[in-house]
Amino acid sequence: MPGHPNLSIKGTFDMHSDKTILVTGGAGFLGSHLCDRLIADGHHVICLDNFHTGRRSNIAHLLHHDRFEVVRQDVTDPVRAEVQEIYNLACPASPVHYQADPVRTVQTNVIGAINMLDLARRTGARLFHASTSEVYGDPLVHPQTEDYLGNVNPTGPRACYDEGKRCAETLLSDGRRQHGLRLRMARIFNTYGPRMRPDDGRVVSNFIVQALRGEPLTVYGSGEQTRSFCYVDDLIAGVVALMAAPDDVPQPVNLGNPVEFTMLQLARLVLDLTGSRARLDMRPLPQDDPVQRRPDITRATTHLDWQPAVPLREGLIRTIAHFDSVLGQRPASPLP
């Protein structure tokens, strides 16, 4: 796994390939599922990751695949590679992790986007960028359409992520206008599934891990705040459909599941599905925590013919099974 600044990826693949595709953040939760999908589709995949929140175990099954290559590198260091497509996912996504080093989070978003823009310009590659529903901040419009401009506190603890992602959207939109960048930009809403880290810190993994361990479920605030949870397989299908879409599809595109739940509803569902009798531990609401969030996915359904298929209950069952095997515990009998 070589890695150094100004890296030039020579491409050791044979010439009978389909596309050669760079996935930054490819060892993370979403990135590793995307690598799986691209390999299954017959492409050559270069996974670039600094392993900040990503893990080798997420991609261990791909390491010996002859169409898969890993490069340990930071996305803020310039990258040279001969690729036809770029998926830029490098950035910690959990508030716990992106707030641990906020200056670094801004750098990853902004310098990473500049580097991917430069690479796309040099190679003519299509560039998919993973933006986020967090660009809407604590939204005053509900559900959120792509033309809602958002309500972000630029100096709060979430701003390193929200404003970093907003600046990346600005950079790449300018790259499209100024240089004809073939841009695909998704605003991804809360996505969950297997391969989230047990210590990820986001609500779905926290609740499941706590329930499986028989620990109290940490509910922040009243628990009445809402989110809309998308299962990872649905999200990856949307990401790939967006990359394949024509250049004139309006950008950005919301990708998420439009069914909305309160955190209390989520907690009860997780307790029900794990058979846990753990209690709820009500904690203070973090600053600037959005009160409500639900995507309007009209643009995605219209232009990509995409919509999520996995209901929350089904996705949670699959995710619980994953964490159950990772944690080595069985939730079959209710925990005390």
The footprint of ligand NAD (CB under 6 A) covers: 24-25, 27-31, 49-54, 74-76, 89-93, 108, 130, 132, 188, 190-191
Contact string 218-237 vs ligand UDP (x = CB under 6 A) = xxx----x-x----------
Q: Would you call 192 a catalytic residue per the annotation?
A: no
- 225 contact, one of ligand NAD, ligand UDP, none, CB 5-8 Å limit per kind: ligand UDP
- 263 contact, one of ligand UDP, ligand NAD, none, CB 5-8 Å limit per kind: ligand UDP
Q: Which is nearer to ligand UDP, 65 or 313 (CB)?
A: 313
**The only residue of 135, 253, 263, 320 in contact with ligand UDP, by rule CB under 6 A:** 263
Question: Does residue number 137 form part of the binding site for ligand UDP (CB under 6 A)?
Answer: no
Q: Which amino acid is at 45?
A: V
- Active-site option among 87, 98, 136, 161: 161
Site for ligand UDP in 296-315 (CB under 6 A): none
Alpha carbon dihedral 131, 133, 139, 142, in 10-degree steps, equals 130
Closest approach, Cβ 111 to ligand UDP, in A, equals: 22
Q: Which is nearer to ligand NAD, 49 or 146 (CB)?
A: 49
- 25 contact, one of ligand NAD, ligand UDP, none, CB 5-8 Å limit per kind: ligand NAD
Question: Does residue number 286 form part of the binding site for ligand UDP (CB under 6 A)?
Answer: yes
Under the rule (CB under 6 A), what is the footprint of ligand UDP? 95, 190, 202-203, 206, 218-220, 225, 227, 263, 286, 289
**Any idea which residues carry the catalytic annotation?**
161
